[in-house]
Amino acid sequence: RASMQPAAPLPERQGVPPVHGVSNTVVGVLGGGQLGKMLCQAASQMGIKMVILDPLQGCPASSVCHEHVVGSFSDGDAVREFSKRCGVLTVEIEHVDAATLEKLEEQVPYTQLQDKYRQKKHFSKFGILLPDFMEVDTLHSIEEAGERFGYPLMVKSKRLAYDGRGNAVAQKKEDLSSVVASLGGFEHGLYVERWTPFVKELSVIVARSRDGSTVCYPVVETIHKDNICHIVEAPAEVSAKIKKSATDVAEKAIKSLEGAGVFAVELFLTEDDEILLNEVAPRPHNSGHHTIESCYTSQYEQHLRAILGIPLGDPSMKAPAAIMYNILGEDEGEAGFFLAHQLIQRALNIPGASVHWYAKPEMRKQRKMGHITIVGPSKASVKLRLDKLLQRDTYDPK
Ligand code: ATP
Ligand code: MG
Ligand code: MG
């Protein structure tokens, strides 16, 4: 012992504590749903500490985070207090107290993005194609919009929309007043969009680092049922030219914004191969769940890398094909849990299938309860495996 050399002194930078592992920074997340949970899972692998702000005791992220603070992410005081525990703040849901968040972080323009009408105005200024849209605040103005855009007419809430809750379609002029009433009237802010008879819906996840550089994930196709994302196919089965234009539009949209993190760009592909932007979500997204199993760096790890200012990872696919199936509540309560469990049991017998169960305390119809990602050697094989999972003879995404 006496003959042992003393350890070499550690290199010291004045006042800066040495980094243990990937990062010492504690990450605070507003929201503890499934996206927050999967962020925490990626963080756990890298030994990054996560604290969550969510009002729901037992929320999905609570079982995997370092600490869960029970409180409201839409309450400025709660967000300010919460921020004192964290080195960096991020969101897993855009419906947060954006004004407070922006004062604390000065990063992503959440206020602008959480209002879908303001979003659209912003992107149209940057020459990005969108379905025609118009703000409406009286029955007269919405009738005018109906005359201008024709029917069916898509009517949308500006704020607090998700899974299509906040959208309603008017088939004819006579429907307008009941459609407006179904969205809670004009008081909370409505706008309309021209109906887009898209041939496919596509999505591109774009990650942006603190220095403004971006990387894009492969273009995927999202298939919605009753306005809710249902199936995601990766990569999308479209031509290389369409992939390029979808990626270009997505990158251009994100370059027009500020802030670091991953962003999802939802797109419509039209019959004449035009790409229109639907909306942007400033966070990890349902269309990127598959990246956990199918890409070198998942969207969740990527989001952490981006907000922590460490190098972005490789977004490319390490499997030739993947398909993601959302487990939506089919019934309330125990009956719903039983149906979901039957599906999960079948998934456990399918090669390449990974089950994600969010462990939400309550089962409700149409609620996202979990998802299953199937990876495989080709698109045809993962579709066959999905058919087996869903006990059907032919692939039919609807
Ligand atoms: P999310 O859960 O993605 O946040 P959301 O509630 O914000 O959804 P949107 O993305 O606006 O809703 O619309 C949901 C779905 O409705 C779209 O994915 C698309 O299938 C359909 N949709 C939206 N806008 C139009 C349109 N202008 N024309 C035709 N279909 C549309
Ligand atoms: Mg939305
Ligand atoms: Mg959407």
Question: Looking at residue 107, what is its pLDDT?
Answer: 76
> Whose CA is closest to atom 9 on ligand 1?
164
The predicted structure's pLDDT at residue 162: 85
Q: What is the pLDDT of residue 213?
A: 95
Q: Is 195 in the pocket of ligand 1 (CB under 6 A)?
A: yes
pLDDT attached to residue 267: 98
Residue 7 has a pLDDT of 72
Residue having the nearest C-alpha atom to atom 22 of ligand 1: 227
Q: Which residue's alpha carbon is nearest to atom 13 within ligand 1?
A: 164
Ligand 1 centre to CA of 67 (Å) is: 34
Nearest CA to ligand 1 atom 27: 195
Counting ligands in written order, the one closest to the CA of 167 is 1
Closest of 327, 325, 309, 322 to residue 352, by C-alpha: 322
pLDDT for the residue numbered 382 = 97
pLDDT at 398: 62
Measure CA 98 to chain center. 17
Residue whose tokens read 């009408």: 117
Q: How far is the CA of 377 from the centre of ligand 2 (A)?
A: 32
**In the chain, how many H helices and how many E strands?**
12, 17
Q: Output the residue whose Cα is nearest ligand 1's atom 19.
A: 227
Q: For ligand 1, pick from 156, 171, 278, 279 the residue to mutate: most ligand atoms within 8 Å of CB.
A: 278
Contact 314, 360 (CB under 8 A): no
**For each of the chain's 398 residues, which pLDDT tens digit applies?**
566 777 766 666 677 788 999 999 999 999 999 999 999 999 999 999 999 999 999 999 999 999 999 999 999 999 999 999 999 999 999 888 888 888 887 678 888 898 999 999 999 999 999 999 999 999 999 999 999 999 999 999 999 888 888 999 999 999 999 999 999 999 989 999 999 999 999 999 999 999 999 999 999 999 999 889 999 999 999 999 999 999 999 999 999 999 999 999 999 999 999 999 999 999 999 999 999 999 999 999 999 999 999 999 999 999 999 999 999 999 999 999 999 999 999 999 999 999 999 999 999 999 999 999 999 999 999 999 999 999 987 767 66
Distance in Å, CA 158 to ligand 2 centroid: 10
**C-alpha–C-alpha distance, residues 137 and 358, integer Å:** 39
Atom of ligand 1 nearest to the CA of 285: 3
CB-count exposure of residue 4 (10 Å: 0-12, 13-18, 19+)? exposed
Q: What are the tokens at 266?
A: 């939802």
Ligand with smallest separation from the Cα of 226: 1
Whether 166 lines ligand 1, by a CB cut-off of 6 Å, is yes
Tokens of 199: 């041939």
Substitution site in 133, 195, 227 for ligand 1 pocket (most atoms within 8 Å of beta carbon) = 227
Helix (H, G, I), strand (E, B) or coil at 139: helix
Closest CA to 340 of 35, 114, 52, 332: 332
The pLDDT, as a whole number, for residue 109 is 86
Interface pTM, i.e. ipTM: 0.98
Q: Sign of torsion, CA 18 22 25 26?
A: negative
User: Can you give the pLDDT at residue 200?
Assistant: 97
Q: With beta carbons less than 8 A apart as the criterion, state whether 202 and 264 touch.
A: no
pLDDT at 393: 75
Ligand 1 atom index nearest CA of 166: 6
